[in-house]
């Protein structure tokens, strides 16, 4: 299990500020799922909020609407194949946790699981906005707990040391970009 | 002037899919402005839509609400200092175009300008959603024209060759990440 340290809530937006692709995990009524989402962003600082697009066809959509909760997990480069697999297969057809080989741990404040091996985790409660959920598949969430692997994020700053443990950004067709070098403008 | 080629609208989401920080340009009634926005994402494929957070305190907010239009410009690493400058100064106090030294060209379908030297441009019309604009500073837009520097994006794919012409991802405190290496999962 990757180590996890709590990220103070006013710093949680930093986990998404650079635009990584995330995994959206969800659970309800004994079912659970995980999908990939490049279309996510921070929405506010404190209390922290996020926005994410969750298509109507997905099992994730059903579980998020039923539970009012989700977790945004920030995967590492070494999890890119898994990220692609859970992004291209449906939880209606397979149990991605067993079939893709995705480890899950209990979250602290929501029923959705934390995906093991990730770089960071944002536990979220849906802010109900039925019109935009229905019209645009757009979900807003308040971050109620946040965690990070201290090897990758500490003191409010990403500090990628290991190439396999950098965050990733989906392009298309199975191709990602790794988060590149940091520089001061 | 950077060369620009049209990006077919169903491919426009690819310009934002990897989560770059963008510049939001706007114009209305003889005034214009540009600000930086890390909080942006694609929202739909075809017709393409985007989402972006525009704070109430900004001149950009006033111009976008008055005109119903904006452009998302994807800056290159060589524009990081300019991106930081337009992200930390207010258009209410200075003319960023002259004071920061930002070049602007006419867009094709909206009154907001295209920022010169960028990697890509998405001309957008606001999809009016007053409740989420007011409550979350969240603006949705339909992309009505899209352009890219063919040296950086062609045939539906980013192909960064020059380190100075990679896209960038804002972290905090003046620090960015460059978009890193591409890899297939």
pLDDT of residue A1: 57
pTM beyond 0.90: yes
Contact residues, chain B, for A41 at CB < 8 Å: 19, 38-41, 51, 53
Could you give the percent of chain A with pLDDT greater than 70? 99
d(CA B77, CA B151): 14
pLDDT of residue A8: 98
Cα Rg for chain B, rounded, in angstroms?
A: 15
pLDDT, average across residues B1-18? 93
pLDDT of residue A11: 98
Could you give the percent of chain B with pLDDT greater than 90? 95
What stretches of A88-148 adopt beta strand conformation (E)?
A: 104-105, 114-115, 120-127, 138-148
Q: Coil, helix or strand for A30?
A: coil
Residues sharing a CB contact under 8 Å with residue B32, sequence separation 6 or more, in sequence order: B25, B26, B63, B97, B104, B112, B113
pLDDT digits (tens, 9 = 90+) for B74-113: 999 999 999 999 999 999 989 999 999 999 999 999 999 9
Question: In which residue are the tokens 């229905």 written?
Answer: A134
Structural domains of chain A sorted by starting position, each given as residue range(s) with its CATH number in brackets = 5-178 (2.30.110.10)
- Contact at CB, A136 and B176, closer than 8 angstroms: no
Q: B99 and B80 in contact (C-beta within 8 Å)?
A: no
pLDDT of residue A48: 98
* Core vs surface per residue B151-181: b (16+ CB within 10 A) or e: ebbeeeebebeeeebbbbbbbeeebbbbbbe
Tokens of A163: 């190439």
pLDDT of residue A72: 98
Contact residues, chain B, for A140 at CB < 8 Å: 136, 138
pLDDT digits (tens, 9 = 90+) for B25-43: 999 999 999 999 999 999 9
Contact residues, chain A, for B177 at CB < 8 Å: 18, 158, 179-183
Tokens of B93: 């106090």
d(CA B16, CA A139): 18
* Whether residue B114 has pLDDT greater than 60: yes
pLDDT of residue B29: 96
Contact residues, chain B, for A81 at CB < 8 Å: 185
Of the candidates B19, B140, B181, the beta carbon closest to that of A18 is on: B19
pLDDT of residue A3: 87
Q: In the 8-state DSSP scheme, what is residue B76?
A: B
- Contact at CB, B181 and A183, closer than 8 angstroms: no
Residues sharing a CB contact under 8 Å with residue A6, sequence separation 6 or more, in sequence order: A145, A146, A147
pLDDT digits (tens, 9 = 90+) for B146-171: 999 999 999 999 999 899 999 999 99
- What is the pLDDT of chain A when averaged over all its residues? 96
CB atoms near residue A9 (< 10 Å) = 17
d(CA A75, CA A79): 6
- Residue by residue, DSSP assigns A15-83 as GTTT---EEEEEEETTEEEEEEES-EEEEEETTEEEEEE--TTSHHHHHHHHHSEEEEEE-BGGGHHHH
pLDDT, average across residues A17-37? 97
Tokens of A34: 């995980």
Q: What is the ipTM of this complex?
A: 0.97
pLDDT of residue A161: 85
pLDDT of residue B14: 98
pLDDT, average across residues A98-126? 97
Among chain A residues, CA nearest to B140: A136
CB atoms near residue A1 (< 10 Å) = 8
- Contact at CB, A180 and B175, closer than 8 angstroms: no
pLDDT of residue B1: 57
pLDDT of residue B3: 87
């Amino acid at each position: 299990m990757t180590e996890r340290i709590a990220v103070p809530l006013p710093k949680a937006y930093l986990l998404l500020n650079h635009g990584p692709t995330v995994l959206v995990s969800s659970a309800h009524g004994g079912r659970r799922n995980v999908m990939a989402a490049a279309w996510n962003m921070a929405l506010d600082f404190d209390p922290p909020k996020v926005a994410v697009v969750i298509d109507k066809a997905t099992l994730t959509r059903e579980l998020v609407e039923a539970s009012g909760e989700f977790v945004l997990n920030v995967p590492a480069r070494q999890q890119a194949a898994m990220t692609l697999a859970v992004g291209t297969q449906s939880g209606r057809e397979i149990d991605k946790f067993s079939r893709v080989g995705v480890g899950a741990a209990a979250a602290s404040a929501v029923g959705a699981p934390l995906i093991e091996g990730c770089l960071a985790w944002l536990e979220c409660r849906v802010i109900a906005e039925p019109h935009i959920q229905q019209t645009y598949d757009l979900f807003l969430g308040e971050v109620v707990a946040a965690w990070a692997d201290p090897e990758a994020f500490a003191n409010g700053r990403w500090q990628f040391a290991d190439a396999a443990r950098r965050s990733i950004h989906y392009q298309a067709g199975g191709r990602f970009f790794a988060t590149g070098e940091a520089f001061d403008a």
